Each structure stands twice: as structure tokens, then as C-alpha cells.
Structure 1
């Protein structure tokens, strides 16, 4: 059967904190990741999101930053300039970790929303390692996943519109690892969710 020959997907929840809207002029300051689960021909299997994780704080790559963006994470740029990991080292370590945890499967980055985190992650991977373990398109947006299952317009989706049982009970702290773990639970819940029940009068 053809579906049995397809490699499983290993979903990795990724969250980044940055000091501006785009990579290059601005910097990714921290990177958190947590394995969310695996999907194969038999369906989706959730993982314990605290079991396989990755976290690094990075040295800024430019002098420019947006104060409001920096304030979200509460990270100290001066400290990171002195103590943060070199981006080339951190992204190589991240790539090695992705390859290790996804052995036998194809890694897929998932985020909420994926667009912002993926933009920084992919730029950093290509800029500092020359390649991405996710390829150029191996990402999934949780907002799109929910909108599709719920039958809602994408721009109508915020976490507050989701059924409470889908949301993680963990706080969203704007610490990249905390948020990656929280969103790994959200992703697993979304993957198992059959969608809203029949409408009632």
C-alpha cells in the first residue's frame, strides 16, 4: 500500500523571540523547540512536550532593535551581546538536535502563528548553516489548521475563539521554550480534534 511507504512526520513546535519584525535588520534572541508528536499512516500520536526540548539564547546580529518588540520577551540585549551563543553555533546545534529527534521521520516545524517564527528560523538556518532540516516548506501553521477544521475564515481566528479544551493549561510567558511546550500541547489537541459538532438551533 502506497501510504505505508510514506515517511512519518515528526512535528516540532518552535517559538522564537526577536527584537524586530524581520530577520537581518533585526535579531532572533532566543529559540525554543519541543517535540509535539508523530503522524504516520495510522494517525497522530502526541508526545510528552517536556521530554525532548531545545533552547538557546543568541547574540544579536545587528545594532538595530524595536523597543516594543524587545520588551515582549524581556531579554537583555547587552547581556546577550556578551553571553549569547554565536548564531552559527546555536543553529548548527539546533539542526543536529532536529536530525536526532526525527530519526526515521521527516521533521515539520509547527508554530502559532508559524509565519513569524518560520521567517526568522528559516533565515537564520540558511544564513548561518546553509541548509534547513525542514527543507524550504516543512512548516505548519496552527491557526490555519484550526480555521480549516472549524470552518472559519483565517483572519477570524485567535486563541480566544478556540474551544477551551483545545488550549494548553500552561501560561504563555514569552519565554521561547515555555511557549514552544505550551504550543506543542495546543498542536496535539488540534491534530486530535474532529472539528466542531453539528450546529444546534
Structure 2
């Protein structure tokens, strides 16, 4: 079975799952050749015992359109995560979690998967685009930010802080990097 690169982006109201809620998440599933084989997106109701982090909520005030996008068509987290697992299992290959930054996005997605479904089709691992860039650029981690990446790695796709837009954009970035790395 081929690997399916599941570029995932999340939006939250704070820094850690449980104390804070994942507001929205989306995934764009790509083959290595940058064929988009499917997408998944969900906006979630907040966790009953969680609250928004004041600094994060202040940041959201500067992003009213993106905030509004996270608060429409809300689903119960358990329902959304069950649907997500079913979607992941329907993909034509083995899912690999990909994100920028994977440490943050995977933390929330994994916590929600285990809490609400008891399983993670990704197992325990995630592929971090910035770390991949560090290896390709042969530079320090802090110097492997998007502004220091070659322009040809980027497609003309928006970064809007709407989870699906950002998952698609970052998935294309990863696939461009993967193609260059595999063709060297």
C-alpha cells in the first residue's frame, strides 16, 4: 500500500488539548506525486471543561473571518473524530500525518483521536515539514522557516488560518519538497 500524506492543520483556542479546545481541523490527503485524493474538515464544539487561553483569544480577535469559519456547522468532537477515522481508513494507502508544525497539530489530533475513538490510524508518529526542510536545506532548525525556504517549493495557494485552506497549502508544499528530495 502506498503512503498517503495527510497534511493536517488545526485551529484551537489555546495551547494544550484538554485545558483548551480544538476548534477546527482539516486534512488534505496527497499521494507522493501531489495528487489530492481527498479532504476532510470539521468544526468542533468546545470541550465542556476547557476554556480559551487569553492570549490565543486575543489573537483570534485579529482574525474575525477565520474565527467565524471555525464556529459554523459545529459538531460534537466524538462524532467528528469517528467520521475522521472512517475517512482515514477509506484512503487508498497508509496514512502518514504531515503538518507544519507537527508537534502542535499532532498533539491535538492524537489527543482527540484517543479520547474520542480510542485509536489513531497514524500510530504515534507525525512528519514535521519544518524538520524535513531542515534536513533538505542542511541548516539549523530555526533557520528552516518558510521565509528561508526556496520559493519554488510553494504553490500559489492561500494561507488563511482556515484549516482546510492551510492543510491544502502545506500539503502541496510538502509534496514539492518530497519530489525534489526524491529526485536528487
> Same-fold call, TM > 0.5?
yes
Structure 1 stretches lacking a partner, 5+ long: 1-6, 38-43
Kindly provide the CA deviation profile for residues 47-106 of structure 1, in whole angstroms up to 9, marking residues without a partner as x: 13xx511110000003410244240574259956xx5200000000001001111x3x22
**In 1, Cα distance between equivalents of 2:122 and 2:179:** 23
For residue 139 of structure 2, give the secondary structure of its aligned residue in structure 1: coil
TM-score under structure 2 length normalisation: 0.88
What residue in structure 2 maps to residue 125 of structure 1?
113
Residue 89 (structure 1) aligned with residue 79 (structure 2):
yes
**Superposition misfits of 4+ residues, deviation over 3 angstroms:** 76-80
Alpha-carbon contact 1:29-1:75 (below 8 Å) kept: no
Which has the larger Rg? 1
**In 1, Cα distance between equivalents of 2:51 and 2:139:** 38
For residue 135 of structure 1, give the secondary structure of its aligned residue in structure 2: coil
CA 78–159 in structure 1, closer or farther in 2 if over 3 Å, else same: closer
Residue 179 (structure 1) aligned with residue 153 (structure 2):
no
Structure 2 stretches lacking a partner, 5+ long: none
Alpha-carbon contact 1:25-1:64 (below 8 Å) kept: yes
What residue in structure 2 maps to residue 160 of structure 1?
147
Kindly provide the CA deviation profile for residues 99-118 of structure 1, in whole angstroms up to 9, marking residues without a partner as x: 111x3x22101001111100
Residue 8 (structure 1) aligned with residue 2 (structure 2):
yes
Kindly provide the CA deviation profile for residues 107-131 of structure 1, in whole angstroms up to 9, marking residues without a partner as x: 1010011111000000000001000
Residue 56 (structure 1) aligned with residue 46 (structure 2):
no
Which one of the candidate residues 105, 114, 132 is aligned to 1:145?
132
Alpha-carbon contact 2:69-2:162 (below 8 Å) kept: no
**In 1, Cα distance between equivalents of 2:102 and 2:69:** 24
Kindly provide the CA deviation profile for residues 7-53 of structure 1, in whole angstroms up to 9, marking residues without a partner as x: 4211110000000001000000001110122xxxxxx42213xx511
Which one of the candidate residues 75, 81, 102 is aligned to 2:67?
75
TM-score under structure 1 length normalisation: 0.81
RMSD: 2.2
Alpha-carbon contact 1:60-1:77 (below 8 Å) kept: no
For residue 45 of structure 1, give the secondary structure of its aligned residue in structure 2: coil
